[in-house]
A and B are shown apart, each in its own frame.
Chain A
Amino acid sequence: MMRGAALRRGRIVEHLAAGSSAAGLALCLLLAGGIVLLLVRAGLAPFWPQPVIEYTLRDGRSVLGELMLHRDGALIVRGDEQARPGDGYVRLREAEILAERQPPDAVARVHADGRRSYRLGEAGPDEPDLVGVDRRNALTFAGKLAFFGERLRAYAIGGDRSGDAGQGLLPALAGTLTLVLLMSLIVMPIGVAAAVHLHVYAGRGRIGALVRGAVGSLADVPSIVYGVLGLGLFVHGIGGGIDRWLHADRLPVPTFGTGGLLWAALTLAVLTLPVVVATVEQGLARIPDTQRLGSLALGATRGETLRRLLLPQARPAVLSAWILAVARAVGAVAPLMLVGVVKYAPASPIDAAFPYLHPSRQFTHLGFAVYDQALISPDALVGVPRAYSAALLLVALVLVLNAAAGLVGRRLRDRDRAFPL
Chain B
Amino acid sequence: MTNSLLWYATRGAGAVTEILLTCVVVLGILSTLRVQTARWPRFLTTGLHRNLALMTLVFLALHIVTAVVDPFTNLGWAAAFIPFASSYRTFWLGLGAISFELLLAIVATSLARGWLGHRAWRLIHWLTYAAWPVAIVHGVGTGTDTWSAWMLAITACCIAAVGVSLVWRLTTSSRDPLAAPRLDFRSAVDRREVR
**Chains A and B bind each other:** no
Which residues of B approach A to under 8 Å, CB–CB? none
Which residues of A approach B to under 8 Å, CB–CB? none
